């Protein structure tokens, strides 16, 4: 078993997860933070934009949470493989 391959994949997953965190933060900073409750034609467009942005943020949150769980589980699996390799390796060779 080559652990360096798995560590490389883990680093790529962590980089993707950091990218998701940065993308979500960027979306959140470019969102309209005011609630528009008027019945104007202009406000309906803003309300629709806010609704689609909220759905996008919810999707990013779900991906972020799933990615975090995957990274943690994969890191634990790599650690378990390293312990197993260390346990079964003949120390005299």
Residue ranges covered by each domain of the chain? 3-88
CA–CA separation, 67 and 65 (whole Å): 5
**Phi, psi at 37, each rounded to 5°:** -120, 20
Segment 59-93, tens digit of pLDDT: 999 999 999 999 999 999 999 999 999 889 877 75
Confidence category of residue 29, pLDDT binned at 50, 70, 90: confident
What pTM, to 2 d.p., does this model score? 0.80
Residue 20 scores a pLDDT above 80: yes
CA triplet 23, 35, 64: central angle to 5 degrees?
25
SS3 at position 34: coil
Q: What is the pLDDT of residue 17?
A: 96
Look-up: residue for tokens 């790599």? Answer: 78
Mean pLDDT of 26-54: 78
**Phi, psi at 2, each rounded to 5°:** -100, 110
């Amino acid at each position: 078993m080559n652990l360096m391959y798995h560590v490389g994949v883990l680093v790529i997953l962590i980089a993707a997860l950091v990218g998701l965190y940065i993308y979500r933060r960027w979306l959140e900073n470019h969102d309209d933070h005011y609630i528009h409750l008027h019945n104007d034609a202009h406000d309906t467009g803003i309300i629709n934009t806010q609704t689609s942005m909220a759905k996008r943020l919810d999707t990013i949150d779900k991906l972020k949470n799933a990615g975090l769980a995957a990274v943690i589980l994969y890191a634990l699996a790599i650690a378990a493989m390293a312990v197993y390799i260390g346990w079964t390796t003949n120390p005299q060779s």
